[in-house]
Amino acid sequence: MDKYVYKAYGLIIESDFFIPEFIEFQGQPVVFIKYGEVKPFLENPDEKRIRFEAAKDEFLLKLEGVAKFYVANGNEIIVEPDVDAEMDDIRVFLLGSVFAALLQQKQYLVLHGSSIVVNGKGILFTGSSGSGKSTLAAALCKKGYKLLTDDLCAIKLNETGKPEIIPGFPKLKLWKDSVLLLGENIDSLTPIRSKLQKYRLDAAAVFSQDSVPMSKMYILCDQSNSELMIETVQSTDKLKELITNTYRYRFMKAQGGRSHHFKQIAAVANVVDISKITRDKKLTTLEQMLTLCEEEINTVWER
Amino acid sequence: MGEIIWLASYPKSGNTWFRAFLSNLLSEEGDTVDINHLETDGIASNRILFDEMTGIDSEDMTMDEIDALRPEVYEYIAEALTKTSFVKIHDAYTHLTDGRPLIPSYKAKAIYIVRNPLDVAVSFSYHNNSSLDKTIDNMAKDDFCFCSRPIKFHTQLRQKLLSWSGHVDSWFDNNGIPVHVIRYEDMKNKPFETFKKAVEFIGLLCDDEKIKNALELSQFERLKAQEEKTGFREKPTNMNAFFREGKTGGWRDHLSEEQVSRILEKHKRVMKNLGYIDENNNIVF
């Protein structure tokens, strides 16, 4: 069987199947994505909910109509597709929750958000689903800033203990309304799944392949009736915000990463400024957001 | 051992008022409960809750895939409860394609709050900032849903409301969950008796004084005054005030004869059953 080799999140990955979202690469793989039989359950899960189970260095996700996924030791993902599964469906969940579990096992800090590079520094936009992270990142990329990650943001502490954002892969995931808002031609894009009006925007031309120091985090909040405003998150509230915006905090906790996670978010809180941008998505235009963000990120650089 | 008490209603039927009452009843403190911090437990269509329980990004799932997992999510929550949990729900009581009910019967009861659809139409049109005619059309649509436009992200999961009559029928005719029905008009006109019965159905042990006190603290005027002072986070954008008039029979000042007859035409049977139309075909409230 032909194998595919890629690089994503700083890892060389060998896969049994084609993953067009990732960048092809040559080298010695450290992560292996394989077809295979997935065990029905974990022996001693620390956390077991409706469709996932997690234990130290083990993770299981079962999705009817798509696949079963098993992740172990930060180096192996086994995929058992359902009979009528489409590859697109499998990849959407592989690149979401499943990869997040792998990165957590690798002891990366995984935050929920999209990040870009501004003058060599990493800026992360986080916030809950639908808060506009990807749309804003995409709009900034159109203005020439480089993309680091979309959706899952992997962070590692460097040898001096400072957080660095590791580039993910050069794609952005956007709903149809955002694609249209950005003025992209929808006909030239492929939906992430045939059943959804959500698309992958290619960002290969504006993708940063190098890790950069993380310097700023913005939390996007969509709140009914709110004016567009920006406020600094006080140091005492930073840890709470970092926990809230940790991707699938529960997986990580169950996979034995809790104390490590705390060290990581403390290191981030030490050097990263955090601000909250609140607005009502119905009242604030993307242009207004862009103007505010560009002003903001340029002051980050001046400081 | 806890159970889920579903606070079910078509929108704009008194659900928030009932939640304010419950919050004041359950609150340990003597002060009026803040409308922005009601002590009930959220809404069934909460997307974050779904994602937490399943470990999947619901935004990458189709609406039908999400619905197929919702019964398990609610069963899981019910199983884990240590005390009674009150959860708001606007979904109609529907069944999935495989026959399972969306809302499982396991450790669950429901309070169903219903309001004269003539008043609902007026309130709903203010709520959505849309015309009365469009609102009346929506209330007549058998497949009306919240959060179902497929081109964008929705903070909440899709909710199948059905038509106004369909919504009432779905909860009344369900074979799984015991339902206690409350009319908004009775909450208004004979509050003590109405709320006391609801409290008994839920199984809360409260003396009459406590109920009277909670009723006092959750009077419409008080909720409205709070909103004027601090705002209400559940108020949709483009709506002036969530707590608007809160009265019964207000439709007479807003609906044309033609609009009234369109509502009656579609919902007459259910309105009669609920006593909104009497035996002489007169509108009661």
- Where in A25-108 does DSSP place strands (E)? 31-35, 47-48, 52-55, 58-63, 67-72, 76-81
- Quote the pLDDT of residue B29: 65
Residue A37: alpha-carbon gap to chain centroid: 27
Closest-approach residue (CA) in chain B for A227? B237
Q: What is the 3-state secondary structure of B104-137?
A: CCCCEEEEEEECCHHHHHHHHHHHHCCCHHHHHH
Query: Is the sign of the CA dihedral B40, B45, B48, B49 positive or negative?
Result: positive
Q: Is the pLDDT of residue A228 over 90?
A: yes
- Residues on chain A touching B59 (C-beta within 8 angstroms): 129-130, 198
> What is the per-residue pLDDT across B207-243, written as a single tens digit (0 to 9) for each?
999 999 999 999 888 888 888 888 888 888 778 888 8
Asked whether residue B199 is assigned to any structural domain, the reply reads yes
Q: What gap in Å lies between CA B76 and CA A115, rounded to an integer?
A: 35
- Quote the pLDDT of residue B162: 98
* Domain parsing of chain A, residue ranges: 4-105, 109-302
- Quote the pLDDT of residue B239: 83
Residue in this structure with the two tokens 């959220």, named with its chain if needed: B42
Q: Do B69 and A50 touch (CB under 8 A)?
A: yes
> What is the per-residue pLDDT across A7-58, written as a single tens digit (0 to 9) for each?
999 999 999 999 999 999 999 999 999 999 999 999 999 999 999 999 999 9
Q: What value of ipTM does the predicted structure carry?
A: 0.93
- Quote the pLDDT of residue A302: 59
Chain A nearest-CA distance from B59, in A, is 8
Give the mean pLDDT of B98-120: 97
The per-type count for chain B, helices as H runs and strands as E runs, is: 11, 6
Interface size A-B, in CB pairs within 8 Å, comes to 83
Query: Is the sign of the CA dihedral A29, A35, A41, A43 positive or negative?
Result: negative
- Quote the pLDDT of residue B230: 86
Q: Which of A152-166, A268-282, B219-233 bottoms out in mean pLDDT, i.e. has the lowest?
A: B219-233
Q: Do A196 and B53 touch (CB under 8 A)?
A: no
> What is the per-residue pLDDT across B11-45, written as a single tens digit (0 to 9) for each?
999 999 999 999 999 887 666 778 887 777 889 99
- Quote the pLDDT of residue A303: 47
Order the strands of the A198-202 sheet from edge to edge: A171-175, A198-202, A190-191
Sequence-distant (6+) residues with CB within 8 A of A213 are A120, A121, A122, A158, A162, A163, A164, A165
Six token digits for residue B254? 């807003």
Average pLDDT, chain A: 94
- Residues on chain B touching A104 (C-beta within 8 angstroms): none
Asked whether residue B12 is assigned to any structural domain, the reply reads yes
Nearest CB to B57; choose among A97, A175, A178? A97
- Quote the pLDDT of residue B30: 62
Closest CA to A197 of A175, A173, A171: A175
Written out in words, the top-level CATH class of the domain with range A109-302 is alpha beta
Partners of A149 in the β-ladder:
A115
Asked whether residue B61 is assigned to any structural domain, the reply reads yes
> What is the per-residue pLDDT across A164-204, written as a single tens digit (0 to 9) for each?
999 999 999 999 999 999 999 999 999 999 999 999 999 99
pLDDT bin (cut points 50, 70, 90) of residue A301 is low
Give the mean pLDDT of B139-148: 97
Average pLDDT, chain B: 93
- Where in chain B does DSSP place strands (E)? 4-9, 85-89, 108-114, 145-146, 159-160, 179-183
> What is the per-residue pLDDT across A95-110, written as a single tens digit (0 to 9) for each?
999 999 999 999 999 9
Closest-approach residue (CA) in chain B for A281? B237
Instruction: Check which CATH number belongs to the domain holding B232 and give it.
Output: 3.40.50.300
> What is the per-residue pLDDT across A281-291, written as a single tens digit (0 to 9) for each?
888 999 999 99
The per-type count for chain A, helices as H runs and strands as E runs, is: 8, 20
- Quote the pLDDT of residue B238: 78
Say how many domains are in chain B: 1
In this complex, is the C-beta atom of B241 within 8 Å of any C-beta atom belonging to chain A? no
Residue A141: alpha-carbon gap to chain centroid: 16
In this complex, is the C-beta atom of B56 within 8 Å of any C-beta atom belonging to chain A? yes
- What three-state secondary structure class fits B30? coil
Asked whether residue B192 is assigned to any structural domain, the reply reads yes
Q: Is A261 exposed, middle or buried (0-12, 13-18, 19+ CB in 10 A)?
A: buried
- Consecutive H or E run containing A245: none
Asked whether residue B279 is assigned to any structural domain, the reply reads no
Chain A nearest-CA distance from B185, in A, is 30
Asked whether residue B160 is assigned to any structural domain, the reply reads yes
Asked whether residue B94 is assigned to any structural domain, the reply reads yes
Nearest CB to B55; choose among A51, A176, A198? A51
Q: What gap in Å lies between CA B131 and CA A214, rounded to an integer?
A: 49
Chain A nearest-CA distance from B196, in A, is 34
Domain that residue B234 falls in = 4-117+142-238
Nearest CB to A197; choose among B55, B150, B235? B150
Asked whether residue B25 is assigned to any structural domain, the reply reads yes
Nearest CB to A97; choose among B47, B56, B231? B56
